[in-house]
Structures are given as structure tokens and as C-alpha cells.
Amino acid sequence: GLNLTNIQGDVLIGMKKNKELFFFFGITDGAKFKSSLKSVILPRVTTTTQLLDVSKQPNTALNIAFSQTGLKALNITDNLGDSAFSQGQFANAANLGDPGTTNWVKQFIGTSIHGVLLLASDTLDKCESELTAIKNQLAKCNCVKELYRLEGAARPGSEQGHEHFGFLDGISNPAVEGFQTPLPGQAVVPPGEILVGESGDSLQASRPSWAKDGSFLAFRQLKQLVPEFNKFLADNPIRTGKLTRQQGSDLMGARMVGRWKSGAPVFLSPLVDDPNLGADPHRNNNFTYAKPGQTFSDPADQTKCAFAAHIRKTRPRADLGLPENQQSSNHHIVRGGIPYGPEVSAAEAKANKTQTERGLAFVAYQSNILAGFQFLQRFWADNIDFVQGNVGFDPIIGANAGSPRIVNGLDPTNATRSVTIETDFIVSRGGEYFFSPSLTALATKFAA
Ligand code: N7H
């Protein structure tokens, strides 16, 4: 089995608190930072074991991860064997479909961010006071400087667990073999697909031994234009005799995501939402896009779910044939993001225009960024010919360097109707790639 006391808590199960503070820093003195890491940070880092046991959970959970330039600042020179990580996200911006870095948060432009502290708790006050306690102790070493911070918060009331467009999130993450018992329909992956150096990590042989049980964290600040998204749905309802205009707009939104706002998959409930289905973890992920008993989905049938739908592009299930654990190349990530920014105001809703930034603090863990986050974004979401010819962009996250995006298959009543989306509803504000080391690595390589 996995050594869960060695794996940082956020990686496999997520810190799952209502608030999360991302604190991005630069290291100004590597040697001093290493000794502070040992005395101040390491004792506070939350493990997977701690998160699994309510009686061991801290008030505020803490994780830490480092960028490539952060490793360098600490004089850690081993090659981790991940070229995306080595280059940093700034060098990858164009590959990811971003229209350059004009929309990027300025601190993400370049490679000056050395690391990130992730603090999670019930309130932001608790995150802040834990951060202040850490910063006060670090002040003595004069070895780190704050570069940027982002405050994440679950949405209020009945929207809790839903992202800003209104859809229930966090339903489908892969189960790690030998650690989690899969729910029906959940992907099962070998530990090495998420954790470096574990079985199933295809680059295992080329990794330094201390990297074992660490994981790469792809962080993205993804701004969501919610009133603009809602306006698009209002203007583009799917019209069938059975549905009201509002229901037609809801259907368009659900077909873009592949799930209804409740979480119910459109493949299982194609025309109207089914909140009981959405809320039932034994049913809400139990589908493959193929007919029962078949291995392959029907390449001509999008009536129950568009090929371009966000969850279908990012996990094609039976569109690739074969059960997922028998596919030669698997592309799974563990998602652990949280919304940021305020609710849509009445003024914004009325004007159909975003005035205050909100979105998703996107967090994805994997043992290989090229096979994980980057692959999903570049070769699936942004590829109009995936999962087969001419299906178009993922209408949610697909990016075309800021140009309009063609999406086919959204209208179940008219298979040949093509929709052109003029504006991006998700705007990348950039991010960075990090490595989240094991507790052992933190104690031996990163601390002195
Ligand atoms: Fe996505 N959304 O609200 O539309 N995502 N996503 N995502 N996403 C998912 O099944 C969303 C983003 C994946 O296993 C759900 O748990 C938004 C990126 C994957 O069947 C919803 C943003 C990438 C899955 C959203 C965003 C992915 C998934 C359904 C950005 C990778 C699981 C809930 C602001 C490059 C697919 C669920 C599966 C699910 C939304 C970003 C990937 C509602 C708003 C950048 C793999």
C-alpha cells in the first residue's frame, strides 16, 4: 500500500475546506530558507493520513510546492524528468491556447515564483492567521518574499460545491489503485499516474529517488465570465417542441458541460435535469457513452451527449474503446481546485457583463504534466478533431488563442448544426507548474 504519511494531503484527496489561500513566494536566500523550512514549515505540513482522520485534522491544513526555479534557488539540481515543469508555465502559454500572456496576472509572467503555500480552513481569517504565524517566524530569516496571493472560497448556501457557472464540481476524480475503492464509473489508475516513482509512473527509472511520492501540481487562475456565459445560453436555447425557452437554455448549458447543474450526466438524463441522479454518487458517474454491454461508443450518435462536451473531451471513456485501465496511454489528473471571487452582482447580471473578477483556482495533480493537464488542454480540449474529425472545441475550456471557437454536436435535434462561440467564457490569467514533494523529501532535500 501507499505510505500515506509521506504524501502531502492535497494530492490524492484534496484539503476539502471551504476556504483556501494560495500564497506565492520567491526565495531570496536558499540556505536560510532550508533551515526555516525545517523549523517553521515542515512541522505544519498536513499529510494524507491526517486529512483522512477527523480527529487528526488541523484547524488549518498546509501544503507546500516548488517551481523549477524554486528548486534551483534551493540548489536542488536533479532533473525531475518533466519538461513542462522544467520550462515553467510561462514558456507554455501559447501551447495551452492562451492568446499570449496579455491576460496573465503579472506575477505569473516569467519564472520568478519559486513556490506556493496552500492553506485551507473553514474561514479565511484562520488561513490568514496561520500564514501570519508562518510569515512572522520566516521574517527572522529574511529569506522569502511575498509575490502574489489568491483567496479561494466555496460558493455560499445551496451553491456550495458548485463552480461559478453553477455546475456541481468535484464529482469525477480517478481512484488510485490499492488506496481508494472506486464508485461505479470512477476511473481506476495505478498510483504512478498521480505519484512520481510509484508503479505506473512511466518515467520512474529516470527520476531521482527522493522524488518518489511527490506529484506535479498544475496551477491555473481561470477567470470565468459568468454573466456573459448566461447571456450566451439565453440567446442560444435548444428548441424542441417539448421545452420552454428557459429549459432550452439550460439544455444548451448542460450539453456544453456534459452534466446538468445538479451534476446529473446528460448521457443518462438527456433532456431535463434530474437532481436525484446528480446527488447520488453511486449513479452520477456510472456511464461510459456506450450502450450497455458495448466497449465502443457509437461514433455517429451525439443525441445523449455532444462529443465536444467538457467532461467528454477531458475523459472520453468508451470513445477510446477498451476499459480505461487497459488503454496504453492514460491521461488522468486529480482535480482539487476551488472557486475564487464574489457572487455575480445584480448590476452585472443586468448588464450581462463581468465587473469583478471571479473564476476557478484550478489545481491538478499528476506524475507527468505533458500526459496530464497539458495533454487534456492541448490535445483534447483545444483539438477540434478529437475525439473524432470535426467535433470542435471544448465549449468550456477549449482555447483558440482568443479567436472564435467552433463547437459541433451541441444541438441534439440537429446533428449538423455548428455553433460559433465568439467570446471565451474562461480567460486564462496564467499560472505555474509546481512539484509537491513527499514529507521525506521535504525533510531531507528541502530542509537543512
Ligand atoms: Fe473541468 N465547469 O464548470 O464546466 N469540469 N472545468 N477542467 N474537468 C468538470 O465531473 C470546469 C478544467 C476536467 O471524469 C465538471 O467532477 C470549469 C481544466 C476533468 O468525466 C465541471 C473550469 C481541465 C473533469 C467542470 C474547468 C479540466 C472535469 C463536472 C475552469 C483540464 C472530469 C464535475 C474554470 C485541462 C471528467 C465532475 C470526468 C469536470 C467545469 C477547468 C478537466 C462542471 C468551470 C483546465 C478531467
Average pLDDT over residues 311-319: 96
- Cβ 163 under 6 angstroms from ligand 1: yes
Q: How far apart are CA 21 and CA 151, in angstroms?
A: 5
One-letter amino acid of 78 = D
Task: Report which ligand 1 atom has the smallest distance to the Cα of 377.
Answer: 35
Residue 214 has pLDDT above 70, yes or no: yes
309 lines ligand 1 (CB under 6 A): no
Please state the rounded mean pLDDT for residues 412-430: 96
pLDDT higher than threshold 90 for residue 41: yes
Given a cut of 80, is residue 389 above it in pLDDT?
yes
Ligand 1 close to Cβ of residue 431 (< 6 A) = no
At 161, the pLDDT band (50, 70, 90 cuts) reads very high
Report whether pLDDT(17) > 90: yes
pLDDT in tens, 379-388: 999 999 999 9
Ligand 1 pocket mutation pick from 92, 98, 311 by most atoms within 8 angstroms of CB: 311
Residue 119 β-bridge partners: 21, 62
Verify whether ligand 1 is closer than 6 Å to residue 226 (CB atom): no
**Mean pLDDT across the chain:** 96
Q: Which amino acid is at 430?
A: G
Domain 9-222+432-446 in CATH 3.30.70.1030? The answer is yes
Q: How far apart are CA 51 and CA 120, in angstroms?
A: 11
Residue closest via CA to ligand 1's atom 35 equals 377
Regarding the beta carbon of 330 and ligand 1, being less than 6 Å apart is answered no
> Is pLDDT at 326 greater than 80 in this prediction?
no
- Domain limits, the chain: 9-222+432-446, 226-327+372-426
- pLDDT reading at 69 higher than 70: yes
Does residue 231 sit in helix, strand or coil? helix
pLDDT of 345 reads 98
Q: Helix/strand/coil (H, E, C) string of 58-114?
A: CCCEEEEEECHHHHHHCCCCCCCCCHHHHHCCHHHCCCCCCCCCCCCCHHHCCCCCC
Q: Name the residue with the closest Cα to ligand 1, atom 16.
A: 171
- Quick one: pLDDT at residue 325? 74
pLDDT in tens, 225-242: 999 999 999 999 999 888
Amino acid at 294: Q
Please tell me the residue having the least CA distance from ligand 1 atom 15.
169
Query: Residue 330: pLDDT band by 50, 70, 90 thresholds?
Result: confident
Percent of the chain with pLDDT over 90: 94
d(CA 384, CA 411): 17
429 lines ligand 1 (CB under 6 A): no
- 89 C-alpha vs ligand 1 centroid, how far in Å? 20
- Which residues have a catalytic role annotated? 169
* pLDDT value of residue 328: 66
Q: Is 442 in the pocket of ligand 1 (CB under 6 A)?
A: no
ipTM of the complex: 1.00
- CA-nearest residue, atom 44 of ligand 1: 163
Its pTM stands at: 0.98
Nearest CA to ligand 1 atom 39: 311
327 pLDDT higher than 80 = no
Q: pLDDT tens for residues 78-135?
A: 999 999 999 999 998 989 999 999 999 999 999 999 999 999 999 999 999 999 999 9
